[in-house]
Structure 1
Amino acid sequence: MKNRKGSASVFLIFILTAMITLTAVFIYAAKRAAVISYGDGILNLACRSILSEFNLELKDRYGIFAFEKTGEEVEAEIKEYADYALHDNQEAKVTGIRAGFGEYSLADPRIIKEQILDHMKFALAEDLLDKWESDKSGQKREDRTLRNRRIIDSLPSAPLKSSSPGFADRIAEIKDKIGSIDEIFNQSKETYLLDRYILLKFKNALEDRVGRATFFENEVEYILEGDYSNKKNKAEVRRGIVLFRSGFNAAYLYLDEEKRAQTLAAAEVLTPGPQAVLTQAILIGTWAFAEAENDARLLEKGKPVVLFKDKASWATDLDSVLSNRDEGCIDTGNRKGFYYQDYLMIFLHFESETLKLARMMDLIQINMKGTSSRDFLLKNYNGGFRLKAKISGREREYDTRY
């Protein structure tokens, strides 16, 4: 103990032992970190492999990426990929694989919305929105009605059916809410992208940009009305257009001095005295409705109708209204205003987003049943999943989505 050289040697041995131990710990930690990192890479790649098995028709038709697998199937595939990649590595062992879909199910409208917005932003950036051509060659089946109760009950919008008012019943509310038209057609707004997607991916009474077989011919009208009759959807949207136009036409008749004087003079002839004011209001309402009917006919012929009328765009006359003459479609030659599809965009803008997404999902599910698989259900498809696993005993978690 009194030998100083011996004491120094023992002290150095202690230090060297500690350094060797610390080095061994660092080597073990580095090795374990490398194993975990390697396992992470394998599992991430395995998760991406699952995503690569998306439904190709769903992607081509609607721009939606999703795969159809149960949790057990995903877990079995992940295990197979991991075992194959790690079979020579004794250190990296993957166990406790658990897959869950949770918020990634296509039954959740938020997942559908996110994918639609991504699809439309890409199309907008690539200037693809106006490059889809209309297809008017097919024969329309206007009288088709969905009657299969099993299919109806499985539709995403089925729980909302009883609480959803008809389209024509909401016209007064739409007229009250309408403000700046520029806001409705603002391409930077999510609502615009959703509504434009509807016009691109679903047929309407005048235009078919889909070019494929669909159950309903008036699909955009279904999104607005929600009836299972193709014919009724078209009729109710047309009725809504007439009511919508009637309100604006009546406002113009009250503001135009010449036409206001014309209706008052006719009212005084029909009912002289104080009742003339009430009769005038009835005449204005009737005339506005007749003009709105003519507006609807113009729209159906693919011609534009301005939102706020002026002398140049006004078509009907009071004499025709009083004599109840139907002169068919009167075209003033005006080429300014909104077309049928533009009016649909206005109506879609004020549609409840929840209802709009649900009915879009209805159409996707119905059409995919007809062309892909009759057992197709959106709730069986997923836009991603969450994976939990243990790599060499350490718990790991991965969120994988399109």
Structure 2
Amino acid sequence: MRNKKGSASVFLVFILTAMVALTAVFIYAAKRAAVISYGDGILNLACRSALSEFNLELKDRYGLFAFEKTGEEVEAQIKEDLDYALQDRQEAHASRINVSFGQFSLADPENMKQQILDYMKFAIAEELLNRGKREESGEKKEDRTLRNRRIIDSLPSKPLRESSPGFAERIAEIRDQFKNMDQIFDQSKDTYLLDRYITLKFKNALNDQVDQATFFENEVEYILQGEYSNKKNQAEVRRGLVLFRSSFNAAYLYLDEEKRAQTLAAAELMTPGPPAVLTQAILIGTWALAEAENDARLLEKGKPVMLLKNKASWATDLDSVLKNLDQGCIDTGSKKGLSYEDYLMIFLHFESEPLKIARMMDLMQINMKGTFSKDFLLKNYHCGFRLKAELGGGERGYDARY
């Protein structure tokens, strides 16, 4: 015991033993970290694999990515992928795998909106919006009315139907809110992207060159009005368009000195004295409405109509209005103005976003029932899922979405 060399040897053995033990701990910790990392990677790949089985028709037709599976089916698929990938690495296996969809339903308006915005940003970047510009076909199918109560009750917009006023009843509100045309057509705004998506993916009364079959011919009009009849949707949107144009035409008649004087002179002939002012207002309203009817006919023929008229673009005359003469469609030859689709964009801009998205989903669901599966329901489709798994002795969570 008094031998110093022997004491040093014992001391060195203690130190070496501690170092070996510490090294073993580090090796074990590194191995565990590597196993967890490896398991993480495999789980993420399994999640991406599950997402790869999206509905191709939904993607091709509407640019949306979603899959239809139950939580149990996704869990079984992930377990199968893990078993295949980890045959020789059992220590990296995850246990107690649980899949939930929660906030990932495609029927959730926020998820639908985000998918549409992602698609439109891609379309703008790839310059897809102006490719294959559609023209008026001139051939319209017979009127269709949706009467199947089971389908109607399953529509995403059904809960909003009772509280939604008709399109024509909202024209005064649209007119009062209308201030800046540039905001409506600003491509950096989400509202513009949603509205442009609608005109790109859905038919309207003047444009039915969507590649796939649809139940309604006037789909954009359905989004604005919400009736289950083609004719009703077109008629109500047309009525709203005439009222909208009438208000701008009346403003021009009051601002144009020549036409204002013309209406006042006619009013004084009809009702001399103080009542002439009221008669003038009635004449201006009648004339503005007649011009608006002509505007609607021009738009239906694919002609542009200026939002704010000038002398060159004004078509009707007061004598014809007073004599109640229908001159058909008077074309001034003006090449300036907005198209029918541009006016639809204006109206869509002021549509309630939740209602607009819900009616879009109606059309998607109805059309997919007709061309893909009669049992198709958007609420059964998911744009992602939440995976919880026990890995390396602790619970880990993974969010997988398109």
TM-score (norm 1): 0.98
- Does residue 56 of the first structure (1) align with residue 56 of the second (2)? yes
Find the counterpart in structure 2 of residue 118 from structure 1. Answer: 118
Amino acid at match of 2:363: L
- Does residue 82 of the first structure (1) align with residue 98 of the second (2)? no
What's the offset of the Cα at 1:38? 1.1
Find the counterpart in structure 1 of residue 377 from structure 2. Answer: 377
Find the counterpart in structure 1 of residue 393 from structure 2. Answer: 393
Find the counterpart in structure 2 of residue 130 from structure 1. Answer: 130
Find the counterpart in structure 1 of residue 168 from structure 2. Answer: 168
- Does residue 19 of the first structure (1) align with residue 19 of the second (2)? yes
Classify the secondary structure of the residue corresponding to 1:334. coil
- Structure 2 distance, partners of 1:255, 1:345, is 27
Q: Is the 8 A contact 2:238 2:296 kept in 1?
A: yes
Amino acid at match of 1:181: M
Question: Aligned pair in 2 of structure 1 residues 99, 150: CA closer, same or farther (>3 Å)?
Answer: same
Question: Aligned pair in 2 of structure 1 residues 136, 269: CA closer, same or farther (>3 Å)?
Answer: closer
Find the counterpart in structure 2 of residue 296 from structure 1. Answer: 296
Classify the secondary structure of the residue corresponding to 2:161. helix
- Structure 2 distance, partners of 1:356, 1:277, is 42
Q: Is the 8 A contact 1:144 1:230 kept in 2?
A: yes
Find the counterpart in structure 1 of residue 261 from structure 2. Answer: 261
- Does residue 334 of the first structure (1) align with residue 340 of the second (2)? no
Greater alpha carbon shift after TM alignment, 126-135 vs 272-281: 126-135
CA displacement, residues 162-206 of structure 1 (integer Å, 9 cap, x when unaligned): 011111111111111111111111111111111111011000000
Amino acid at match of 1:256: D
What's the offset of the Cα at 1:348? 0.6
Q: Percent identity?
A: 78
TM-score (norm 2): 0.98
- Structure 2 distance, partners of 1:367, 1:195, is 19
- Does residue 354 of the first structure (1) align with residue 359 of the second (2)? no
Matches within 5 A, 1:2-401: 2-134=2-134, 136=136, 139-401=139-401
What's the offset of the Cα at 1:9? 2.1
- Structure 2 distance, partners of 1:51, 1:138, is 42
- Structure 2 distance, partners of 1:29, 1:209, is 63
Classify the secondary structure of the residue corresponding to 2:97. strand
RMSD: 1.2
Is there any run of 5+ residues in structure 1 with no aligned partner, and where?
none
Q: Is the 8 A contact 1:313 1:334 kept in 2?
A: yes
Question: Aligned pair in 2 of structure 1 residues 157, 242: CA closer, same or farther (>3 Å)?
Answer: same
Amino acid at match of 1:46: A
Query: May I ask how many residue pairs the two structures share in their alignment?
Result: 402
CA displacement, residues 64-111 of structure 1 (integer Å, 9 cap, x when unaligned): 000000001101111111112112223222210000111111010111
Amino acid at match of 2:227: D
Question: Aligned pair in 2 of structure 1 residues 377, 257: CA closer, same or farther (>3 Å)?
Answer: same
Classify the secondary structure of the residue corresponding to 2:390. strand
What's the offset of the Cα at 1:209? 3.7
Q: Is the 8 A contact 2:106 2:381 kept in 1?
A: yes
- Structure 2 distance, partners of 1:364, 1:339, is 26
What's the offset of the Cα at 1:42? 1.1
